[in-house]
Amino acid sequence: MDAVWLLVFCLFGFAETARAQIAANVILESNALFRGETISRDDPAVTIDVSYDHPSGFFAGASFSVAAGDHDPRMIANTQYGGFALRRGEVSLEVGAIRRDYDTHSLYDEDYHGRYVEGFVGASYRKIRARIYVSPSYLADRRNTFYGDVNALILQQGKWSLSGHAGLYAIPRQEGVEGPTRFYIDGSLTVARPIGSFNASLTVANSNYPVFSLSKGTRLFDNKPRVALSLSKAF
C-alpha cells in the first residue's frame, strides 16, 4: 500500500478515539486548474476532497477529480497528502508530503512524470499562507525541482471575497548540460461568495510554464489566461 495512503487511513482511524475534524468538499467547475494551467483540457470537472485535522497537529487528506466534455469521461487527478502543523495563535508552521497523479494524456512532454511526490514546508499567518515544495520525481531524470507559492485573502467585503495566488518554479539545469536554472511563474485571482449552503467562485489564472497544455484549439505554449467558474459545497 502506498505510504501516503497508509498515513491517511491511520490518521482517519484516530478520529474514533480523539476529537478531530473530518471535512468533505464537492466542487463542480467549468475548468480544472492547477498552478495556472488546465489539467482537464478545458473540460468541466468534478472534484471530491476529504480532509482530516487532528488536535495534535497531524493532518491528512485525499482528493480525486473526473472530467468530461469535448473529451471522453476520465479521471484526471488524484492526490493524497499528510503532514504535521505546529499552531501558536494565528501562526502555523507545517511540514508534509503530497503524492500527485495526473491524467498522462494531459502531458505534452515525456520529460515530466504524471505521478510524482512533493515534500513541503510552510507557514501561515491569519489569511496568508506560503509554502516551498521540492520534488525528486517531477522530472524523468530525477532532478530536484522546486516550487514556491503564496496564497492570500486580499479583500473581504460583506459576503464577497478576493483571493490571490502567486507561484514560482525553479528547475536546475540537467547534470552535465550547461545552462542556467529555469524559472517560471504562475498566478491567479479568485472572486467568491456564498450562495445559501454553497460557495460560488470565478478564477482567472495564467502561467508561462504550460506543463498541462493539450487544450482544445490551442498551441502547447499559448500562455493564454484560463477562466473557471465553480460551485462547491462543504460537508
74-103: per-residue pLDDT in tens?
999 999 999 999 999 999 999 999 999 987
Residue 16 pLDDT level (bands cut at 50, 70, 90): very low
Query: What pTM did the predictor assign?
Result: 0.84
Whole-angstrom CA distances from 216 to 44, 69, 111, 207, 209 are: 13, 11, 22, 17, 17
Lowest mean pLDDT: which of 77-81, 111-115, 190-194?
111-115
Find the mean pLDDT for residues 113-127: 92
Higher pLDDT, 171 or 221: 171
Residue 148 scores a pLDDT above 90? yes
CB contact at 8 A, 11 and 217: no
Residue 9 scores a pLDDT above 50? no
Residue type present at position 170? A
Residue 143 pLDDT level (bands cut at 50, 70, 90): confident
The average confidence (pLDDT) of the chain is 85
> What is the fold, at CATH topology level, of the domain defined by 3-234?
Porin (2.40.160)
The pLDDT score that the predictor gives to residue 135 is 94
Residue 167 pLDDT level (bands cut at 50, 70, 90): very high
Residue 164 scores a pLDDT above 90? yes
Residue 218 scores a pLDDT above 50? no
The pLDDT score that the predictor gives to residue 29 is 98
The pLDDT score that the predictor gives to residue 196 is 95
Please return the burial class of 190, using the count of CB atoms within 10 Å of its CB with bins 0-12, 13-18 and 19+.
buried
Q: CB-hemisphere CA count at 13 Å for 51?
A: 11
The pLDDT score that the predictor gives to residue 110 is 57
88-89-93 Cα angle (round to 5): 40
